[in-house]
Chains A and B, each alone.
Chain A
Amino acid sequence: MSPASDGGLSRGRIWQVSLLSTLLIVATLVAASVQASRLFEESLRPDLRAKAETLAETVALQFHRAADLGIPVTRLGAADAYLDDAAAGHEELRYIGFASPEGRLLYASRELKTRPESFFDRVKQAHGQEESRGLARLEGALDLAHPVESRGRVIGQLHLGIDAGYVEQRLQEIHTDILITLFVTALVTIEVLMALMGLLVVRPLRLLHRLLALGSAGDFTRQARLRLHDEATRALAAAARLVRVLNARHAALTERAARARRGGRLTEAVEQALAALGARFRFGDPKAPAALEEPETGDLRLPLFIYLFGSELSRSFWPLYVKRLYQPGPFFSESFMVALPMSLWVTAMVLCTPLGGRLLNTRGSRVALLAGMVPSAFGLALTGQSSSLTELFLWRIVTAGGYGIVTATALLHVARTSKQRHGARSMGVFVGASTAASVCGTAIGGILADRIGYGATFGVAAGLVCLSMVLVGLLTPDSGPREAAEHRPVAAYLGILKRGRVLLFILLAAMPVRLVLTGFLFFLTPLRLHELGFSEAAIGRLMMGSFIATVLATPVVSLLADRYGWHRGMMLAGGGSSGLGVLLFASAEGSWPLLASVLLVGLGQALATTPLLASVPPLFAEECVGFGLDALLSVFRIIERVGSLAGPLLAAALLGASGFVRCAHAIGAGMLVLTAGLAAYLFVRSLPSSTPSPKAP
């Protein structure tokens, strides 16, 4: 087996292991879910019957009283209306009817009256072959027959139609949650197994290949530091032992030669032999060999995924959680206080971002990551225990600070380890982990909050962050301190900001998209859905739809934009899609229109953001030359984050002033207007310039 050629083989094996295991796990979960459905129905059926019997007894009591007072049951004036009232408000009940002892239907609730007369005949027939005492199955309903007695004789029979679909309806809700769980499990399984296969198989193979390549070139200076023991690392260790033995022999030889030289016994022939050896081969210090490993992008994939998964768990219910702690005060409105922590999050994250870079430079990647993860874990755990908004804000800032450090470290780590080749693919590690975590975290977080409560869900989030810390300790090789990168001059940033056309483009293209994301999707959407009666789980499901739309659309958008040069058109389409999505959401009430609107917003995000950065160099070639592309992109990022920060506050102000519908109308219409402005801007920029623009430095 050739380590050199085994890259392809191991990639195929990675996919085989990941996909087949995922399929097996999903199949197992489906089997368990089918069992759960059966048990669910079996277990609830007696309770449905008990409920119907209780209702039958209370209704029967009125007929019984009337009969006791000597009123014939055939002459009860308002009995139909009474049965209507009795049936109302019981969602599992379809109808109530009262029949004479001979089986003639005397009174019926509205629903039963709308049915053909033959229906009641079929009810009577069904009771002839009833499956259990007094209960017969008929046309999607279970008919419960309850005798009504007075003075020891049967005066009639009540018939209550129990909706057989009630249990199925309840099961449908749990099935949706289970489908989400299956989807998330599949994603998690693929992420975990891909990362483990990378660590356990691909990495040793790559190291072995490097060791063989160096050795073939006469370089025996490097040694692998082996921590995990399995077949792959043992093969690597066997190869490394050969190198170690050579190095030990060379070290012994050098020492003896030095002694001989000091004693004046070293002949010229030996000196020449040693010099020739040194010229042909390079040997390392056996006590402190140079490391064979180089930090790799994939090292971070699993811990980063788990960390972001934990951090995203509260996405779908965060505004609802803040709202619960809100106490009316004299200064700030509820919507402002609910939006404030989201803006504080962005602020704390931005402020702590440079710390990530500094820690990475001075202490290495492992320490930098742990330095961010520890406050995040504490922050999440204590956020769940907060009893006031002040506490909540404090712990949110602590969590966000850690988040800023971790994401900055991860991005810098990826940037450093992907310098030579596959830059885009390496960046995909970060993007892939964060989008998969967003999808999984949003959906599962909503379900968990619905079932186990907010506090416990934050506890789970903190637990996941702790798990990511363990994984960082186990799996991430320390990159070690490095020279700090060249400091970018603030003057360049200011210079870029002074350029009106750049600033206008950022304000029209980059900032509105972030405003919609944080102000609408993260802030307004959960509040509105909760107001419409959606549970936390359902909110998580709907919001997940938006992330999935973004995840699925992003590669297609980037492919089409690159292939056909549709960058500008895509940005405009994205702005339009986001605006329309928000407008549709404002007037939608049912699940499907709401889903369609968040899908439009998610699609808009992918359309607007994917081609944005790629369109910067052609649009601002002069600024790129003058200030550098890095500085230009940094200014983009900073202003984007200002948009993220302002989004919830702006939405809160509009919500407080005009209510949800007008607020959403304002955001949606604003987005469309800004997109029209962007179209006009791009049109003007596409015209041949008559006056030269001021020169960049």
Chain B
Amino acid sequence: MSLFFKLGAATAAILCFSIALIVLLNYAKFETTLGELQRSRLRVLALDAKASTEAAIDLGLALPAARDAQQILTRVSAMDPDIRGVVILDRRGTVLFQSGLHATTHLPGSARERAVWFEEAAAARDGTWNRTDSTALLVGAPILNPFSQPVGFVLIAYDRRALDARAGVFLHTFARQALWPLACGFTLVCALMWGLLKPLGQRFQAMEKTFRGMEGPAHAAPADEDVRAFDARYQEASQALARAEQSLEGT
């Protein structure tokens, strides 16, 4: 392997690694920003559903008896095809109303977990609660009765796969686009290494040739002072050895 190949490969490896890092950082940031935006959008929907439901129980009705609740959930659910379901839970985490075919079957968490979510949402300072797991983006808002006591919890489950798909598209597009600068950078790095290291390699090759030439009996004196001094001493040693060998053979 030549110097050009070794150093070129190292530089190209650093280049590829750095580009991969840039792609990864951008992807991670895009994914985070997209998630934030989506959560913020779902928050609008959750607060809308909460306000509408609170209006429905404003006259003192118990939450399970709110007649418009189902309509509200259906309307909210229809606002985005990737909403897996919208449910209204009571404080024990039991589903009171639901919209979306998979609302109960695919609703994440057990009733006990959802009861904990209810408590967390009731204590949330900004009036909404959110959580992200591997399958869904969950955004909720507590429903307050006319005495401002939390009596229920609107929960929107958004399909995480939709977000992952968007982020995936971004990653693929960016990775494809990044191939161009990578290819250009790679070519330039190779050209630079060739330009800088090839002459160095050639000079080393010339030195190698000089040293190989010294093995023969007749050769031109090396141009370099150090090599010439070495050559002279080497030839001296070689001749001294030859003389000793001859005298030993004569015995």
Contact = CB atoms under 8 A, between A and B. Distances in A.
Given A181-B18, A192-B14, A21 B25 contact: no
Interface string B205-248: 11110011011000000001111011011101110110111011
A57 interface: yes
B237 A39 contact: no
Contacts of A3: 207, 224, 226-227
A620 to B, nearest CB: 47
Interface in B1-45: 1-3, 5-7, 10-11, 14-15, 18-19, 21-26, 28-30, 33-34, 37-38, 40-41, 43-45
B237 A51 contact: no
B201 interface: yes
B251 interface: yes
A234 interface: yes
Contact of A245 (B79, B180, B200, B215): B215
B14 A235 contact: no
Say what secondary structure dominates the interface of chain B.
Answer: helix
Contacts of A54: 41, 44-45, 79-80
Contact of B178 (A35, A265, A273): A35
B44 A277 contact: no
A238 B212 contact: yes
B182 A276 contact: no
A119 interface: no
Interface in A225-263: 228-232, 234-235, 237-239, 241-242, 245-246, 249-250, 253, 256-257, 260
Contacts of B211: 235, 238-239, 241-242
A177 B25 contact: yes
B44 A39 contact: no
B93 to A, nearest CB: 26
A92 B212 CA distance: 74
Contact of B189 (A24, A31, A58): A24
A327 to B, nearest CB: 18
B61 interface: no
Nearest to B197: A17
A32 B181 contact: yes
A25 B18 contact: yes
A44 B37 contact: yes
A32 B25 contact: no
A255 to B, nearest CB: 11
Interface string B116-136: 000000000010000000000
A250 B41 contact: no
Contacts of A235: 204-205, 207-208, 211
Contact of A25 (B170, B189, B234): B189
Contact of B174 (A35, A216, A228): A35
A193 B197 CA distance: 13
A170 interface: yes
Given A39-B174, A200-B3, A185 B79 contact: no
Given A51-B40, A212-B229, A242-B214, A277 B15 contact: no
Contacts of A185: 14, 18, 21
12 contacts: A20-B192, A27-B185, A32-B23, A33-B26, A36-B174, A40-B29, A43-B166, A54-B41, A55-B44, A230-B201, A241-B215, A260-B251
Q: Can you list the 8 inter-chain pairs with the closest CB atoms, starting with the nearest?
A: A28-B185, A238-B211, A231-B204, A451-B28, A31-B181, A231-B201, A58-B48, A235-B207
Interface of B: 1-3, 5-7, 10-11, 14-15, 18-19, 21-26, 28-30, 33-34, 37-38, 40-41, 43-45, 47-48, 79-80, 126, 166, 169-170, 173-174, 177-178, 180-182, 184-185, 188-189, 192-193, 196-197, 200-208, 211-212, 214-215, 224-227, 229-230, 232-234, 236-238, 240-241, 243-245, 247-248, 251
Interface of A: 1-4, 10, 13, 16-17, 20-21, 24-25, 27-29, 31-33, 35-36, 39-40, 43-44, 47-48, 50-51, 54-55, 57-58, 61, 89-90, 92, 170, 173-174, 177-178, 181, 185, 188-189, 192-193, 196-197, 200-201, 204, 208-209, 211-213, 215-218, 220, 228-232, 234-235, 237-239, 241-242, 245-246, 249-250, 253, 256-257, 260, 265-267, 269-270, 273-274, 276-277, 280-281, 447, 451-452
Given A48-B37, A273-B247, 7 more contacts: A17-B7, A28-B182, A32-B177, A32-B182, A43-B170, A192-B10, A281-B240
